[in-house]
Structure 1
Amino acid sequence: MKLSLPKEPFSILFVCTANICRSPTAESVMRKQIVDAGLEKRIIVDSAGTHDYYVGAPPDVRAQAAARRHGYDLTSLRARQIQPADFEVFDLLLAMDMNNLGILRSMCPQRYLPKVRLLMDYARRESPAVIEDPFSGTARQFETALAHIEEACMGLMDLLMYGRITRR
């Protein structure tokens, strides 16, 4: 299998509202897929929030519990807010929902707008267009968000593996 990732690491930033539920979950899911594929030197992932509500805090305990049940570890992650430099540094910035997408697009310099997308654009199966925020919900809603994140990350990984995603 031939990879056509660039020689430099390809970088992905997952973005949700506060960086304590969906985006750290996506970071962890994608990191595991990257390690499983032996691409940890070729693909870098991180996560951030559009708001500063919980900067420095660990992921929500319910997100951590759902992730742990599926073999992911969020314990070392800490919330951070997106910074203007992230638009230049990252090759792909993936929002969890339309609100986050709109905020990212409003902050993003015009030349970097093609880097800003929805994570669910990469889902391989018919799935919802966005990953709903489980923060005010139940443990089941955290499980649902995780399942959608896994599906989208698998699709994104397939595209990365087969060279259909390139820097813009």
Structure 2
Amino acid sequence: MKKILFVCYGNICRSPAAEGIFNHLVANSDQLILAAADSAGTHDFHVGKHPDVRSVKAAARMGINLTDLRASQVCAQDFHDYDWLVAMDQHNIECLREIGPQSQWHKILPMADFHPNPNYQFVPDPFRGDRDDFDLMFESMWTMVGRMLELLAEQPVAEIEYV
């Protein structure tokens, strides 16, 4: 079983969206994909709270339920418990490098690496936006998570190398 941890700033918008989409697509795939996802934030502002209501509603419009999720914060142990720590933007990558041991930094991947557009650099944070921003985030996240699952179906996580 491959374990993926999606990481954003507060764990109430982007990372729970990725977690929900990932687990939904795995559960509904016609392929056997032995993988599961969780999510966490680099900061503790929302620990224990539900995802942002706008994320919950955007997910529901796509048939995904996020209401059982609760925000948590990344810790050093996560670098041992997960195969990948997938960061939504460069700030999240920098924070992860402060949290985890350098010997485990190879597990940190930018979410944007899974976008089909090579010029896509980060997942915009919709927190200060409106419904359209959340819907757009979910649509692009669906694409990136789908590509991630294609890669996982093709080869084991340990064989996929990123720089």
Counterpart residue identity of residue 60, structure 1: D
C-alpha separation between the residues in 2 aligned to 1:125 and 1:157? 17
Structure-2 residue corresponding to 1:89: 81
> One-letter code of the match for 1:105?
R
Matches within 5 A, 1:45-124: 45-124=37-116
SS of the residue corresponding to residue 166 of structure 1 reads: helix
Query: 1:129 is matched with which residue?
Result: 121
Counterpart amino acid of residue 25 in structure 2: Q
Give the ranges of 4+ consecutive aligned residues of structure 1 lying more than 4 Å apart after TM superposition: none
The structure-2 alpha-carbon separation of the partners of 1:133 and 1:114, relative to structure 1 and needing over 3 Å to count, comes to same
The one of 149, 152, 155 aligned to 2:144: 152
The reply on whether 1:161 has 2:161 as its aligned counterpart is no
Does the aligned pair in 1 maintain the 2:88–2:122 contact within 8 Å? yes
From 1, 10, 31, the counterpart of 2:2? 10
CA contact (8 A) 2:50 2:70 kept: yes
Asked if structure 2 preserves the Cα contact closer than 8 Å seen for 1:26 and 1:153, the reply is yes
Equivalent in the alignment of 1:4: none
CA contact (8 A) 2:75 2:99 kept: no
Give the aligned length.
Answer: 159
Q: Distance in 1 between matches of 2:32 and 2:89?
A: 27
Q: Paired residue for 1:43, among 25, 31, 35?
A: 35
Of the structure 1 ranges 50-59 and 118-127, higher mean CA displacement relative to structure 2 is found in 118-127
Aligned-residue identity in percent: 36
Q: Which amino acid aligns with 1:136?
A: R
The whole-number CA distance in structure 2 between the counterparts of 1:85 and 1:32 is 26
Report the CA distance between 1:150 and its aligned residue: 0.7
> TM-score normalized by structure 2?
0.92
Q: Which runs of 5+ in 2 are unaligned?
A: none
> Which residue number corresponds to residue 16 of structure 2?
24
**Is the CA contact (8 Å cut-off) linking 2:22 and 2:36 kept in structure 1?**
no
Structure 2 CA distance, aligned partners of 1:81 and 1:148? 24
Q: CA deviation at 1:33?
A: 1.1
Gaps of 5+ in 1: 1-8
Task: Note the C-alpha offset of 1:126.
Answer: 5.0
Amino acid at match of 2:111: L
Shift of 1:124: 2.8
